Amino acid sequence: MELMRLSELREGEKGIVVEVKGDLKTKLLTMGIVKGTEVKVVRNAPLKDPLEIEVRGYLLSLRRDEAEHVFVERR
* Interface contacts to another protein, rule CB under 8 A: 20, 24-32, 34-37, 43, 45-50, 52, 56-63, 66
Measured from the CB atom, is 3 or 45 closer to another protein?
A: 45
Q: How far is the CB of 42 from another protein (least distance, A)?
A: 8
Strand boundaries in 1-75, DSSP class E: 3-5, 14-20, 38-44, 51-55, 58-62, 70-74
Q: How far is the CB of 58 from another protein (least distance, A)?
A: 5
Give the closest residue to 28 by CA, choosing from 4, 51, 61, 2.
61
